[in-house]
Amino acid sequence: MQLTERNMEKSLCTLAAVIFLGGFFDAAQLTDDTTTEVHLLLNSTSTAASVTVQLQHHSTAKTTPTAAQKLHTTAVTTKKLHRKNISRDSEEENNGEKKPASKTDEKKTQLDCPPLGLESLRVDDSQIRASSSQRSGLGPHRGRLNIQSGISDGDLYDGAWCAAYKDQNQWLEVDAIYLTLFTGVVLQGKNSIWSWDWVHTYKVQLSNDSVTWKTCMNGTEEAIFEGNQNAWSPVLGVLPVPTVARFIRINPQTWYINGTVCLRAEILGCRVHDPGDSSEQDLGSKDPLDFRHHNYNEMRKFMKSVTKECPDITRIYTIGKSYTGLKLYVMEISDNPGKHELGEPEFRYVAGMHGNEALGRELVLNLMQYLCKEYKKGNQRVVRLVTDTRIHLLPSMNPDGYEEAYKKGSELAGWAEGRYSFEGIDLNSNFPDLNNIMWDAEEMAIDKSKVSNHYIPIPEYYTQEDAMVSPETRAVISWMEDIPFVLSANLHGGELVVSYPFDCTVGWAPQEDTPTTDNAFFRWLATVYASTNLVMANPNRRLCHHEDFQVHNNIINGGAWHTVPGSMNDFSYMHTNCFEVTVELSCDKYPHASELPIEWENNKESLLVYMEQIHRGIKGVVRDKMTKQGISDAVIKVEDHDHDIRSAVDGDYWRLLNPGEYKVVVWAEGYFPSMRRCHVGMQPRATICDFTLTKTPLQRLKEIRAKGLKIPQDFLQLRLRALRLRKLRATTKVLNQRRVGQRTLQEERKARGA
């Protein structure tokens, strides 16, 4: 059927729009003499019009590395996108020289189009169809890259789309809704612990109406794309010629001999801009932030740039090094950086514990830049935060793992590439298990109230040189002990939920609700973040994988989710004064750079309002009555809360509490205890409850003797007074007991005489 003149004109307009897809081609870094062939699939014909277009070179920020294109006569195999070499540590170690790109790298060309959003859930279930399905739990809606199944097989949430038949007529179809320049497909096998299923080779078909389909060609032959050799590693197939269409199909040709036709997928493509389409909206962020993925060197440069822009409120310091020697950088944001101010609480965000969960890393970097810019603009909310709080931001706790994931890129890192440290350690369970130490002591104790419920020491085995403790974990523990943190959050990815302690269950039961004595406040903290997160708060959102956290209002006790002995959250609570929760930020652990502005908007308010919760409860200074100096390590005990805290070096303390009336007792070694009733209101500011302690006579005597001073006469009289009073009380108690016994005996005699 021939094209009408009108249809040809419309097609040429669409082609012109394709040529000027500058927003997506910016990151491709094409050389000026590069040409790329683009196919335009036309509605009214079964043939494709082929044209060659000149792509312009742009110099804007790079998007996430994905994969490089390498064409073969019969197949397209997985290759990384050309990207700058990553040096292992600082520029100084490389003598300040950058490794020059090879000629081969310079010749590489690419159309760096982002994913359509199967993994990020931007593609709705209604946009995905299939030729057949084994059952509903293996339907087309489960054919999303990196989707995870539950432990049970056969439920509604299995780990892939699986066809009902083992033949070459099966397909998974995605409707992009709009005309899209398709550039590639990322394929992955089925997620399951019970079976192995993946596709070895496949074809790609394109259409504008979902009726007439055209198979992608490689020259004069139908292109056969190489798929997977295992169930977990994503493999990129690049279209020999980028093609404009609306619908795309993946048509498996061969599969694992002992398996079935199962796959998970992501589609790469750039939406064709239509000036007449009013539905096109900018879904990004209005904040002028650096939205891209930063490797180690880029992160260092970025942090330095923020410090240069806001030198009065920022400071960069390191807390240690990773196994390979990469430094663990922290940015402090405060109106007086580098110093703990009396009465000012300390806050921290930790990201990148799992290296492949990259969103938290970028959000923390965005937060640095945002606080700097808004402080300079005079944003009163930010000014209050910076003035009243000392903020510490650790963007990458596991830089070795991140560099491993970064090499693969956002779509090819898979579910676990870079999760662990260089030594293969999961940092999220590498802290001392203090929970069971406390629970075992309580079980053996006659009086449980005598068992310490806070500041539990690190066990001896954990301190040995041969202990399997990563240098990253050791660095963070030392950091926790050096700074009197009050509140923290540990940023993860791969789900949408906020979990709170305890993470470990009694006896390491797989799942069991294990609340702390501060359960009400932890639930408040989790709710504050979850209820202000734009995605979590959406009641119509799709499940990430197989667990419905919306029934719990997107918060859950860590032990009720899955037990994690030795978690950072539990250690922080039991070894220090700091309350900490885990935030699972997104279904996609490593979202494409094009998603970062949206993710910032989803989390911006949550990140800010969570920090503000540090100013709830009570705070104050514990001082010596005579010297007026602060008393360190004073124990602050709140009635009906079996978790005490201690004062910092200067005597200041902070106790997070919900609104209410509290009886607070403070004591320190060598001092008489002191009690006050403190009221916590609904206002987001802490109630000041200061305490003054008086030394015991024995303590004063010890100090005088230690200094070699003469014991004052009045002190001797005071000491004698105390001793006599103690003796008087003891004899009074004996006399009272004797009188009670005599009275009882007299009553018994009277009763017998009657």
- Which residues are catalytic, by number? 584
| 3-class secondary-structure state, position 339 | coil
Preceding peptide of 502 cis, ω within 30°: yes
CA atoms within 13 A on the CB side of 484: 21
Furthest-apart CA pair in the chain: how many Å? 129
245 within 8 A of 215, measured Cβ to Cβ:
no
* Whole-angstrom distance, CA of residue 421 vs CA of residue 472: 8
What residues are paired with 248 via a beta bridge? 174, 206
What is the C-alpha to C-alpha distance for residues 441 and 750, in angstroms, rounded to an integer? Answer: 51
Q: Hey, what's the torsion of the CAs at 507, 513, 515, 521, to 10 degrees?
A: 160
CA distances from 586 to 187, 245, 251, 461, 728 (A): 21, 29, 30, 37, 68
Residues facing 422 on adjacent strands? none
| Sign for the pseudo-dihedral over CA of 18, 20, 24, 26 | positive
- Residue pair 656/685 in contact by the 8 Å Cβ criterion: no
Element (H, E) at 570: helix 568-575
DSSP annotation of 552 reads G
Which one, of 622, 659, 616, 615, lies nearest residue 637 by Cα? 622
Contacts of 709 (CB under 8 A, 6+ apart): none
Q: How far apart are CA 352 and CA 396, in angstroms?
A: 4
> Rounded to whole angstroms, how far apart are CA atoms 355 and 421?
8
Q: 216 with 239: CB under 8 angstroms?
A: yes
- Amino acid in the structure at residue 619: K
For CA atoms 472, 478, 479, 481, the dihedral sign is positive
C-alpha to C-alpha distance for 684 and 131, rounded to whole angstroms? 56
Can you tell me the distance from the alpha carbon of 374 to that of 604, in angstroms, rounded to the nearest whole number?
Answer: 13
Peptide bond into 715 cis (omega under 30): no
3-state helix, strand, coil split of the chain in percent (to 5) is 30, 25, 45
DSSP of 451-504: S--SSPPPPGGGGSTTS---HHHHHHHHHHHHS-EEEEEEEE-SS-EEEES--S
The 8-class DSSP code of residue 686 comes to P
Residues 304, 306, 312, 317: is their CA dihedral positive or negative? Answer: negative
Estimate to the nearest angstrom the gap between the alpha carbon of 264 and the chain centroid.
24
Name the token pair of 692.
Answer: 């003054």
Quote the CA–CA distance of 639 and 654 in Å, as a whole number.
Answer: 16
Distance CA 197, CA 457 (A): 48
CA neighbor of 689 nearest in space, from 699, 697, 679: 679
Rg, Å, the chain Cα set: 32
With contact defined as beta carbons under 8 Å apart, do 358 and 292 qualify? no
Nearest to 313 by CA among 248, 257, 392, 230: 392
d(CA 144, CA 592): 15
Distance of CA 276 to the CA centre of its chain: 40
